[in-house]
Amino acid sequence: MELHVKRDHSSSGQYPNRARMLISCPDGPGIVAAVSDFLFQNGANIVHSDQYTLDPDGGMFFMRIEFDLPELEQRLDELRDGFNGVAGRFTMDWRIINVSYKKRLAIFVSKEDHCLVELLWQWQAGDLDADIALVVSNHTDMQSYVESFGIPFHHIPVTPETKAEAEKRQLEVIGEEIDVIILARYMQIISPSFIEYYRHRIINIHHSFLPAFVGGKPYAQAYQRGVKIIGATAHYVTEELDGGPIIEQDVQRVSHSDDVNELKRIGRTIERVVLARAVKWHIEDRILVHHNKTVVFN
């Protein structure tokens, strides 16, 4: 089964005729040969290929390929239609993505600014090859900063009584063509209906090394426990609080002399780096989700 979204916000980029193919299917002989032969028969040149088998004895197969194809834009629909036959033989879930289409990002933020600032800085520097379409916040603290980048800012307050109405408004301002939502320290629980609409397209940064210290105030929990390592985790959001598929994690050693505020200060650096990596990998189509795990290709 293939999923793709047609858009008009294309950019010629450095490789206007490059595409990516992502595949997951039950493992078996002949998959790589069939995919490679299909691309060869259609005049494509493979420039990068990576694969992984989860449990070789009757497990799952995952593959990421980058290839160049002359006149890709004109031939993409034909290519997708033609690949249905190969995909059907191996019961594949698959996508072919035109690299020149930049993904559209919506960033949600509350009052903590460090993760948002990192994403905006990397985007401005050209390290995030995507379009930041808008920023949504339940506070106004970051409005002038965001708008200084020429990015629309939407203030949508949230209270327990207005949560459903606020989410409805959020969906309205996001529109139909957002590829991924980034919770850059957005301190609100996302409803199951919202999650279902953006399944595996909402990335959250949690300020602990999951599965340790889920929920609120993880640095206070870590301090009370006397840990010697703190970390941060970027993951896809699911209905289970802080329990979605993990994309990236990192840690740093701390001391018994570090109080909660010092843990927070150290943690902010870890959080911003981990979230930026996860977002970059998502927009570069390096992540495949299998059950509650991810395969992240280099």
Q: Catalytic positions, please?
A: 242
- 8 A C-beta contact, residue 80 and residue 96: yes
Cα separation, 3 vs 93, in Å, equals 9
Cα separation, 29 vs 61, in Å, equals 10
Cα separation, 74 vs 52, in Å, equals 31
Tracing tokens 């799952």 back to the chain, one arrives at: 60
Cα separation, 77 vs 72, in Å, equals 9
Which structure tokens are listed for 255? Answer: 């001391």
